Amino acid sequence: MPNALQFFVILDGVHRLVNSIRSHRSDLSKAVDILLSEEKALVEFSPYVTIPSLIRITSEMQLWTRVCLSSLLLSRLCVGLRLNREIKQQAIEAIIAAYEPAQGEDNGATSTVKLLSLAGLGFPPAMQTIELIAEQMGVNVQQVATSIFTSAIQAVAESHD
């Protein structure tokens, strides 16, 4: 379990990540690269600090941009690190409980990121929804996931909270 200072480091990192993505709003590929670079840094920092901190940020934060990024990072890290079922369940519960802004405030970015993150963690209803969307669009699941991921980064880049 992270101590207060370690939690603050992760929280500050998420805040800085939002600002970095915003500063590259004209170059979406650079914004995506920044997120992926942060993901790598979080793995190197310590999964035993990072994962519980992201779970807490996801479940407690009231800013949709931070919820989006922490949900994405949490899901990607849990899968990438092949964490056990208990930790994945905690991540799923945090994402389900995470704040969603008033309709229209984020143009649906938070709810679609939550859907993508839950599907990435193997949550059956989310996986089925992503599969249904892909089927209806006539594309594969990876294309839907990439589209949601890119749209979320773009929404964060264009945000002003």
Give this prediction's pTM: 0.90
Of the candidates 65, 49, 60, the residue with the CA atom closest to the CA atom of residue 17: 65
Q: Locate the domains of the chain by residue range.
A: 4-157
SS3 state of residue 46: coil
- Alpha helices by DSSP H, listed for 61-140, are 64-80, 85-97, 109-120, 124-137
Average the pLDDT over 9-21 and give the result.
93
Question: Does residue 59 register a pLDDT over 90?
Answer: yes
Q: Measure the CA–CA gap between 141 and 91, rounded to whole angstroms.
A: 22
Question: Mind listing the pLDDT tens digit for each residue in 22-41?
Answer: 999 999 899 999 999 999 98
Structure tokens of 53? Answer: 């901190």
The percentage of residues in the chain with a pLDDT greater than 70, rounded to a whole number, is: 99
Average the pLDDT over 108-127 and give the result.
94
Q: Measure the CA–CA gap between 112 and 52, rounded to whole angstroms.
A: 22
Report the b/e string of 100-114 with b at 16+ CB within 10 A: ebeeeebebbbbbbb
Let me know the angle formed at the C-alpha of 117 by 113 and 137, rounded to the nearest 5 degrees.
Answer: 65
